[in-house]
Amino acid sequence: MIITPLFVIFLLLVFILVWIFANTIDKRKWVSLLISLIATPIVYFYVFYPFINIFFSYHHQKHFDSEAWKEKPALRYEMSTEVVTKNLFLGKTKDQVKQVLGKSEWYSWDDSIKANSPEMWNYNLGFKPGAFNMTQECLELVFKDNKVTRISQYQMEKKFE
């Protein structure tokens, strides 16, 4: 898990709310502090975090890990921000990308050749958590002269039948 400023703010907010609640139980500060320190992680991960995921698209981010990418494809969205913002694969060859990410799941449509282009690789990132989320996250790597020239993330509407 990457510790982001938003995560710290949310954790402090939950701690303050638990502290206020603990003060209604017992006026001794050390007891309130003890209750707050123990209850904050529990309340955050089992009450606050699921509630946030129902209405917003906030989720924890993780550093890119090739093994996790291959073993848990449904959770790739947690690593996608780092892949796109740091351009982790920019300048890499197809063989290098295939070794780290695995074989491309599908090719993108290229209007210039009117077909799916083997120079545009796509990977499914899964669905970000949320009750009303119907979009699948995808990652596209564009190759030119056997090297990655562009990395982009996009959303694709998923229809369940």
Span 99-123, pLDDT tens digits: 888 888 888 877 777 778 788 888 8
Instruction: Look at residue 58 in the predicted model and tell me its pLDDT.
Output: 60
Instruction: Look at residue 74 in the predicted model and tell me its pLDDT.
Output: 78
Burial class (CB in 10 A: 0-12, 13-18, 19+), 10: middle
Instruction: Look at residue 138 in the predicted model and tell me its pLDDT.
Output: 86
Q: Classify each residue of 90-129 as buried b or exposed e, where b means 16 or more C-beta atoms within 10 Å of its C-beta.
A: eebebeebeeebeebeeebeeeeeeeebebbbbbbbbbbb
The percentage of residues in the chain with a pLDDT greater than 90, rounded to a whole number, is 4
Average pLDDT score over residue span 139-153: 89
* H or E element at residue 91: none
> Given a cut of 80, is residue 2 above it in pLDDT?
no
Instruction: Look at residue 109 in the predicted model and tell me its pLDDT.
Output: 76
Domain spans, the chain: 5-55, 76-157
> Given a cut of 70, is residue 1 above it in pLDDT?
no
Span 4-23, pLDDT tens digits: 788 888 889 999 999 898 88
Average pLDDT score over residue span 145-149: 90
Burial class (CB in 10 A: 0-12, 13-18, 19+), 88: middle
Span 51-81, pLDDT tens digits: 877 776 666 678 888 888 888 877 787 888 8
- Average pLDDT score over the chain: 82
pTM: 0.60
Instruction: Tell me the CATH number for domain 76-157.
Output: 3.30.1450
Instruction: Look at residue 107 in the predicted model and tell me its pLDDT.
Output: 84
Tell me how far apart the alpha carbons of residues 123 and 97 are, in angstroms, rounded to a whole number. 12
